Amino acid sequence: MKYLLILASDPSLPSPEPGDAGFEAYMAAWSEYTQALTAAGAHHSGEALQPAETATTVRHDAGATTVMDGPFAELKEHLGGYYLIDVDTLDDAIEWARRVPIGTGSVEVRPVFPTDEF
């Protein structure tokens, strides 16, 4: 069963930039996590996203569309990336969500609609 892990964190919190002392360790943690997912046969896909300031939202209102600057929801925590994983149960998905090296932030676990039901 597929679950989308939606990663969000507060952009005002410091995160290591290329060239910073902790940057390599930070990147290594992410790469280790992705490798662990792959090794467990749970990895489907995943990407890191550009900051929320780069987002554009196309709002649909019964056929009419409006293009707006910014993400669709103004929250303290911004969407920063995702993993699509394939595991047996929600408990497995929660375990993987616990292991995301996000530092401080949130990981929403959302079950994907099973396509073989359509």
Partner 1 sequence: MPDQPAAWVYTVARNAGVDRLRRESAAQRRLSTQARVLEAGTTERLDSASTADAPVAIAEYGQVGDEQLRLMLLCCHPALGREAQVALTLRLAGGLTTAEIAQAYVVPEATIAQRLVRAKRKIRAANIPLTIPADLSERAEVLTAVLGAIFNEGYLAHSAAAGTLTRADLADQAILLTATAADALPDEPELAGLLALELFHRSRDAARVDRDGALVRLQDQDRTLWDRSMIARGYAVLAHALSRRALGPWQVQALIAAEHTRERTDWERVVRYHDVLITMGPSTVAQLSRAIAVAEVDGPESALTDVDRITGLERYHLFHAARADLLERSGRAEEAALAWDRAAGLTANPAEAAYVALRRASAATAARRDLGPIPRPRDF
Question: For partner 1, which residue of 17, 69, 74, 116 counts as binding (CB under 8 A)?
Answer: 116
Question: For partner 1, which residue of 47, 61, 74, 117 counts as binding (CB under 8 A)?
Answer: 117
Tokens at 76, concatenated: 């303290």
Distance, in Å, from the CA atom of 76 to the CA atom of 9, rounded to the nearest integer, reads 8
Residues 6 or more apart whose CB falls under 8 angstroms from that of 70 comprise 52, 53, 55, 56, 57
Question: For partner 1, which residue of 1, 47, 53, 105 counts as binding (CB under 8 A)?
Answer: 1
Q: Which is nearer to partner 1, 103 or 111 (CB)?
A: 111
CA dist 105 to 12, 29, 62, 74, Å? 11, 15, 34, 16
Write the interaction track for partner 1 spanning residues 50-89; mark x where CB under 8 A is met and - where it is not. --------------------------------------xx
Report 93-112 residues binding partner 1 (CB under 8 A): 94, 109, 111
3-state class of 38 per DSSP?
helix
CA dist 51 to 48, 92, 98, Å? 9, 29, 23
Q: Which is nearer to partner 1, 47 or 88 (CB)?
A: 88
Residues binding partner 1 (CB under 8 A): 1, 88-91, 94, 109, 111, 114, 116-117
